[in-house]
């Protein structure tokens, strides 16, 4: 049994800040309740309440830190906590799938880390199985070593002994599979559309101050400015996009700086982050599926991003299920990396497309959606609203694009689906990982003898879904036959017959 330990005292500050963050909206409401001049002591009441709340949050953070203890005993990680009601949680080592590290801005100066304990049952809960908010790196590494050694002994069912002494286990070798360079991060930010997102976010933020900012006057000044000189207006527009691009690059560096993927025995270890450093451990056996994602800016240059779906992880933390394995990489370079990690997957395959009769369906539904937007916009904002007619050719091109992209492929043990919303996606699914496979058919699809296929794998509470619309009905039936248990029986009988001959 190890001695009982407490978290680092900085936990009190982290707990208080977390509670304040969760109560941010009520605090803002209290601040804006009284925006005029104070005429009596009651006018200061919102500020007094806000101050009392912050003091209470800090006090509760101290109590939570004092009541939290953890230790190792009898092959278990044991935790005792509780603000008013004492709770004890015992987590056997064999149930622990991974320990994920995070180093926030409050952790790094003190050489601390936050550990999230993920188990096989974490996906059905709202939070991680357990969380150690702030412990030293030495304690974290020691905990990880003890758990890994215990799991290895359990797997081998005995401890290897030589000359009456226990063999000292060597640290597993780490193989670096992928690292992002600063150049990769710049290209990633440039091709992600981040500049547009930044500008959109700024406009949405400014729209909340309509009573303060005279938008009509600003708009009139902008019109006069454009009329005064298109060249100058163009220079200003380029400058604005350049600043937005710099912000997008900065945000990308904050999140993905030092992005590294390592293979350590049967685990993938992914580290990233500049101010807040995160380390995620993904056991290979938990990977349920792989997705290639190419947006319209990266596709012409052959760049893609690779995401893996992992079983387990908490519901509230989506990143613990859908994990960006390769944020941006040339597609041809992914195969060597993925073949080292998952050699049983087939990444180069021939696809069966959707039938020609599906083309009008792809285009029709995009046109219908565009018209639903165009008609009211053109009517209420005439004549400027007629600019929305540009969505008609865009809808036609998008429908044609989706038609040409859609396809599927099924081998002995793998289903591969290719489809497009705006970005092109290729999903690789092992048959044994597919939770359900079904096809649906609307009234209009029935008339065209086409259907939609849906595949679901384990990820999050409800699973991760992929689907292709308007495939030939006979192809849908082929996929259902491929997935059915009877197909396995037929294969076994065929193989047995061949062996007998």
Q: Is 475 left (phi over 0), alpha (psi -120 to 50) or beta?
A: alpha
Q: Which of 89, 106, 435 is nearest to 288 (CA)?
A: 435
Residue 501 lies in a domain: no
What's the total number of domains in the chain?
A: 4
Taking residues 236-265, report their average pLDDT. 87
Beta strand spans in 345-459 (E): 352-353, 407-410, 414-420, 424-430, 434-440, 450-457
Task: Name the pLDDT band for 51 (thresholds 50, 70, 90).
Answer: confident
Residues 109 and 249 both lie in one domain: no
**Predicted local distance difference test score (pLDDT) of residue 466:** 92
Residue 339 lies in a domain: yes
Residue 445 is encoded by which pair of tokens? Answer: 């699809």
Residues 420 and 342 both lie in one domain: yes
Least confident range from 64-73, 230-239, 249-258: namely 230-239
Taking residues 234-259, report their average pLDDT. 85
pTM of the model: 0.78
pLDDT at 394 over 50: yes
Residue 497 lies in a domain: no
Residues 213 and 316 both lie in one domain: no
Domain termination residue (choose one: 203, 224, 256) = 256
User: Is the four-CA dihedral 481, 484, 489, 491 of positive or negative sign?
Assistant: positive
Residues 139 and 279 both lie in one domain: no
Residue 125 lies in a domain: yes
Residue 4 lies in a domain: no
Taking residues 80-89, report their average pLDDT. 84
* pLDDT, averaged across the chain: 80
- The Cβ of residue 302 has, within 10 Å, a number of other Cβ atoms equal to 12
Residues 40 and 69 both lie in one domain: yes
Cα gap 97→285, rounded to integer Å:
10
As a 3-state breakdown, the chain gives helix, strand, coil percent values, each rounded to 5, of 50, 30, 25
Residues 236 and 276 both lie in one domain: no
- The Cβ of residue 256 has, within 10 Å, a number of other Cβ atoms equal to 19
Residues 324 and 393 both lie in one domain: no
Residue 230 is encoded by which pair of tokens? Answer: 């298109």
**Predicted local distance difference test score (pLDDT) of residue 430:** 93
- Please give the radius of gyration of the chain, using alpha carbons only, rounded to the nearest integer: 28
Residues 149 and 65 both lie in one domain: yes
Domain containing 32 equals 10-171
**Predicted local distance difference test score (pLDDT) of residue 240:** 79
pLDDT at 40 over 60: yes
Contacts of 64 (CB under 8 A, 6+ apart): 11, 12, 15, 81, 83
Q: How many CA atoms lie within 13 A of 234 on its CB side?
A: 3
Residues 319 and 244 both lie in one domain: no
Residues 193 and 246 both lie in one domain: yes
Residue 449 lies in a domain: yes
Task: Name the pLDDT band for 206 (thresholds 50, 70, 90).
Answer: very low
Q: Which long-range contacts (CB under 8 A, 24 or more apart) does 436-441 make?
A: 436/463, 437/479, 437/480, 437/483, 438/480, 439/473, 439/476, 439/477, 439/479, 439/480, 441/473
Taking residues 177-203, report their average pLDDT. 78
Residue 61 is encoded by which pair of tokens? Answer: 């953070």
- Tell me if 98 sits within 8 A of 57, measured CB to CB: no
Instruction: Note the pLDDT tens digit of each residue in 355-389.
Output: 999 999 999 999 999 999 999 988 888 888 888 89
Q: 445 versus 121: which is more confidently predicted?
A: 445
Instruction: Note the pLDDT tens digit of each residue in 303-338.
Output: 999 999 887 654 445 455 788 999 999 999 999 999
Domain termination residue (choose one: 171, 200, 228) = 171
Residue 309 lies in a domain: yes
The percent of residues above 70 in pLDDT, for the chain, comes to: 75
Residue 110 is encoded by which pair of tokens? Answer: 């003190």
Residues 322 and 214 both lie in one domain: no
Q: 459 versus 132: which is more confidently predicted?
A: 132
The burial of 272, by beta-carbon neighbours within 10 Å (0-12 exposed, 13-18 middle, 19 or more buried), is given as: buried
Domain termination residue (choose one: 374, 401, 428) = 401
pLDDT at 404 over 90: yes
Task: Name the pLDDT band for 269 (thresholds 50, 70, 90).
Answer: very high
Residues 142 and 283 both lie in one domain: no
Q: What angle do CA 173, 178, 184 make, to 5 degrees?
A: 155
Cα gap 334→342, rounded to integer Å:
12
Residue 5 lies in a domain: no
């Amino acid at each position: 049994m190890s001695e009982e330990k407490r978290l680092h005292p900085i936990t009190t500050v982290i707990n208080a800040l977390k509670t304040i963050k969760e109560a941010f909206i009520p605090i803002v409401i209290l601040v804006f309740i009284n925006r005029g001049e104070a005429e009596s002591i009651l006018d200061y009441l919102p500020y007094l309440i806000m101050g009392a709340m912050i003091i209470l949050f800090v006090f509760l953070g101290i109590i939570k830190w004092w009541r939290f203890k953890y230790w190792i005993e009898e092959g278990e990680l044991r935790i005792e906590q509780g603000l008013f009601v004492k709770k004890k949680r015992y987590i056997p080592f064999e149930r622990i799938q991974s320990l994920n590290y995070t180093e926030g801005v409050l952790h790094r100066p003190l050489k601390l880390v936050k550990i999230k304990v993920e188990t096989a049952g974490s996906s059905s809960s709202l939070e991680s199985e357990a969380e150690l908010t702030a412990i030293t790196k030495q304690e974290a590494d020691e905990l990880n070593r003890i758990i890994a050694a215990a799991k290895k002994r359990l797997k081998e069912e005995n401890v290897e002994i030589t000359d009456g002494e226990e063999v000292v286990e060597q640290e597993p070798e780490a193989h670096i599979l992928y690292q992002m360079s600063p150049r990769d991060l710049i290209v990633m930010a440039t091709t992600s559309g981040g500049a547009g997102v930044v500008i959109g976010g700024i406009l949405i933020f400014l729209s909340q101050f309509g009573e303060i900012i005279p938008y009509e006057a600003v708009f009139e000044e902008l019109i006069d400015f454009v009329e005064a000189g298109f060249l100058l207006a163009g220079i200003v527009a380029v400058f604005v996009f350049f600043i937005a691009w710099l912000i997008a690059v900065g945000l990308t560096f904050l999140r993905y700086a030092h992005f590294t993927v390592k293979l350590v025995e049967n685990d993938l270890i992914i580290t990233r982050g500049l101010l807040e450093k995160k380390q995620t451990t993904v056991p290979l056996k938990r990977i349920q599926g792989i997705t290639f994602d190419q947006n319209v800016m990266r596709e012409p240059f052959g760049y893609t991003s690779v995401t893996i779906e992992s079983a387990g992880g908490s519901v509230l933390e989506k990143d613990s299920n859908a994990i960006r394995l390769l944020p941006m990489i040339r597609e041809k370079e992914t195969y060597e990396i993925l073949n080292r990690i998952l050699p049983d997957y087939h990444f180069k395959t021939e696809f069966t497309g959707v039938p020609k009769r599906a083309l009008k369906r792809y285009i029709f539904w995009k046109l219908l959606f565009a018209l639903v937007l165009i008609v009211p916009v053109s009517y209420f904002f005439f004549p400027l609203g007629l600019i929305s007619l540009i969505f008609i050719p865009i809808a036609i091109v998008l429908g044609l694009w989706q038609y040409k992209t859609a396809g599927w492929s099924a081998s002995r043990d793998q289903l591969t689906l290719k489809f497009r919303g705006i970005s092109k996606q290729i999903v690789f699914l092992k048959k044994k990982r597919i939770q359900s496979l079904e096809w649906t058919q609307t009234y209009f699809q029935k008339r065209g003898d086409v259907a939609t296929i849906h595949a679901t794998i384990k990820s999050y509470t409800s699973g991760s879904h992929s689907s292709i619309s308007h495939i030939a009905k006979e192809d849908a039936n082929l996929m259902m036959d491929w997935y059915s248990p009877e197909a396995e029986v037929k294969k076994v009988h065929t193989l047995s017959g061949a062996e007998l001959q």
